Each structure stands twice: as structure tokens, then as C-alpha cells.
Amino acid sequence: MNEVKVIAEIGCNHKGDMAIARELIQVAAQVCKAHVAKFQKRNNRELLTPAEYSTPHPNPANSYGETYGAHREFLEFSVDQHAELKEECERHGIEYSTSVWDLTSAREIASLNPGLIKIPSATNQHYELQRYLCENYGGEIHVSTGMTDHAEIEKLVGFYAEMGRSKDLVLYACTSGYPVPFEDLALLEINRLQENFGDRVKYIGFSGHHLGIAADVAALAVGRTGQHRYGQGTFGYVERHFTLDRTWKGTDHAASLEPDGLRRLCRDIRHVDQSLTYKSDEILPIEQVQRDKLKWSQDKHGDQVVRLAS
């Protein structure tokens, strides 16, 4: 089977500091063994209305500026800085990616030609942005489906099919919230996406904003069993927000994994995925040794005997 990849969603958890961003890449790659380090790119003047830009942050304790626009600008890296981050990822053997929130950011990040670009749930109905990527970018396009109804998801997948790019599309089951309570994770949405779109897209993934790592392992199991049940909808990615310290200032840190949490997640995804198989033989070689020592059987007269270890 394909290897399920873990995306460390760094987002803006670097606090606008390139040194922290580099450290996050290094830790994600070397300590946690994640496959992808993902950031975010916004053109805030394009994305926000003048009123939104000049309004104070709704949670002043998390703000890096006097207005929401100033806060967002403080956290923003230039396209040249993103090029540096891509090079840093390459040095440490981890794939670079970025979520793009607007058309200008899509153009800028596509110019760096990463292996994948993400469309967040908030902009998955922004078709001018996605049309640009379909026509000007050749890598995988990953799209989250948080706060998106069934008709909108159908429209989304249909758009990529019309553009001839649906086989480059990775569709994520996602609930938008920070953090999301377990009763709202709705992991069986993974199966719904597999059943309805699995033969039309490249992979199905899971993007989580919850606490802990148990649900991610469950998402893997749901995705793999659905893949077998429907014969389509290969499960390919698990994405989680990543930080060095969950107590840091900012809105995403509390719903993020710290290094040991991401390390254990990557380990558990890898190990559990190895276990999601049928037995290759009715009696496996590892069992035969124990069977020879311990298994009750019947002799030719029908008497019960046990073969004991010598």
C-alpha cells in the first residue's frame, strides 16, 4: 500500500520569526519524522476588507498588532522567505508546502513549485484561485472540506474534473474548530468522501484540530478499512497543527501538537498502518512456533493432548 504521510501544519505558529520557523522544520523532520512541513501564505490587503483590516483582533491577548490587519502582517512571510523555508526543508529531508488563502498568494507559492499546495476550508469555494492553480501549477492540490456542505463538495470535485485535474486532488475530511471536541470530529466522513468521490480524486485525507493523537490513529483505521470496503478512495494523509510550545501567544497553539506529541503520532501512524492487513497465511510463521509448543490437538484416537515445550 501507499505510505500514509503526516503533515506538520506549522501555519503561523512561528510567531513571525524565521529562526523559529527553521527550528520547527528541523524538529518536524529530525525528531518527529513527519513527511511534510506546511506553512500559510496570505495577502492580507486582498483577503481582508478595509474594515476587517483596521478592526482590533477579537482576542487582544493573542494579537501581534493593534489591528487585525497589523496582526496578520506581523505573522506573514514574503515569497522570498518562503523560498528560504523550502530550501531549509530540502536540507532536512522533509517536503515543503503552504496553504494559500488568496489569488496573489497562490501565484507566489506556485512560482516556488512545491510538491503540494493546500486550499484551506475557508477558501475551497474560491474558484478563481483554484482555476489559477489548475492552469499554472502541476503538483498535488489538497483541499479541506471543513464548514462545507455536501453540495459544495460535489461542486468542488466537479470543478477539478472539468479542469482535468481531479486525479491531482486530495480531499480532506475536516471539522473547522479550534479545538474540536471529539463528538464533532465525525471520522466516518472519511468513508463518505471515499464512497462518493474516491474514484474521482487521488487521495482522501484527514485534517484534525482536536486534542491528543488517539483520533488520528482511528482516522487511519477508518480510512484504510473504507479504502478496502469501497475499492476506491485511497487514504493518503493525516494533517495536524504543530508548535514548539502550546502555551505560546496565538490562536492555533492550543490545538497543536508539541514535538513529543507529533513524534508519537508519526510513530503510531506508521506502526498501526503496518498492522492493518489480513493474515498472509492461516497460520503465520510467528504462530507456528507457538502452535508447535502450546496448541491443543487430537491424536488419532480422538484423545485430547497438548504439546508442551521441552
In tens, the pLDDT along 187-246 reads: 999 999 999 999 999 999 999 999 999 999 999 999 999 999 999 999 999 999 999 999
Please indicate, yes or no, whether residues 286 and 196 belong to a single structural domain of this protein: no
Residues 221 and 144 in one domain: yes
Burial status of residue 306 (CB atoms within 10 A of its CB: 0-12, 13-18, 19 or more)? exposed
- pLDDT for 310 equals 46
What pLDDT does 297 receive?
72
What is the tally of structural domains in the chain?
Answer: 2
- Predicted confidence at residue 237, as pLDDT, reads 98
Looking at the structure, tell me whether residues 232 and 186 fall in a common domain: yes
The rounded mean pLDDT for the chain is 94
Is 50 exceeded by the pLDDT of residue 159? yes
Strand pairing class (140-144; 169-174)? parallel
Q: State whether 246 and 303 are in the same domain.
A: no
Q: Evaluate if residue 309 carries a pLDDT over 60.
A: no
Same domain flag for 100 and 194: yes
The predicted-structure confidence for 8-65, as pLDDT tens digits, reads as follows 999 999 999 999 999 999 999 999 999 999 999 999 999 999 999 999 999 898 999 9
Based on the domain organization, do 290 and 248 belong to the same domain? no
305, pLDDT greater than 70? no
**Is 286 found in the same domain as 221?**
no
Q: Do residues 130 and 192 both lie within one domain? A: yes
- What's the per-residue H, E or C state across the chain? CCCCEEEEEEECCCCCCHHHHHHHHHHHHHHCCCCEEEEEECCHHHHCCHHHHHCCCCCHHHCCCCCHHHHHHHCCCCHHHHHHHHHHHHHCCCEEEEEECCHHHHHHHHCCCCCEEEECHHHCCCHHHHHHHHHHCCCEEEEECCCCCHHHHHHHHHHHHHCCCHHHEEEEEECCCCCCCHHHCCCCHHHHHHHHHCCCCCEEEEEECCCCCHHHHHHHHHHHHHHHHHCCCCEEEEEEEECCCCCCCCCCHHHCECHHHHHHHHHHHHHHHHHCCCCCCCCCHHHHHHHHHHCEEECCCCCEEECCCC
Domain with 106 in it: what CATH number?
A: 3.20.20.70
| pLDDT at 8 (0 to 100) | 98
pLDDT tens-digit map of 244-258: 999 998 888 988 999
Q: Are residues 262 and 284 in the same domain?
A: no
103 and 27 share one domain? yes
Question: What is the mean pLDDT of the segment spanning 129-139?
Answer: 98
**Which grid coordinates are listed for 39?**
506553512
The count of C-alpha atoms lying within 13 angstroms of the C-alpha of 270, restricted to the half-sphere facing its C-beta, is 11
Q: Residue 288 belongs to what domain range?
A: 280-310
Angle between helices 127-136 and 150-162 (to 10 degrees): 30
Tell me: the pLDDT tens digits for 84-105? 999 999 999 999 999 999 999 9
On whether both 150 and 196 belong to a single domain, the answer is yes
Q: Which residues of 85-112 are buried (b: 16+ CB within 10 A; e: fewer)?
A: bbebbeebebbbbbbbbbbbbbbbbbeb
Same domain assignment for residues 158 and 215? yes
Give the torsion sign (CA, 47, 51, 55, 58).
Answer: negative
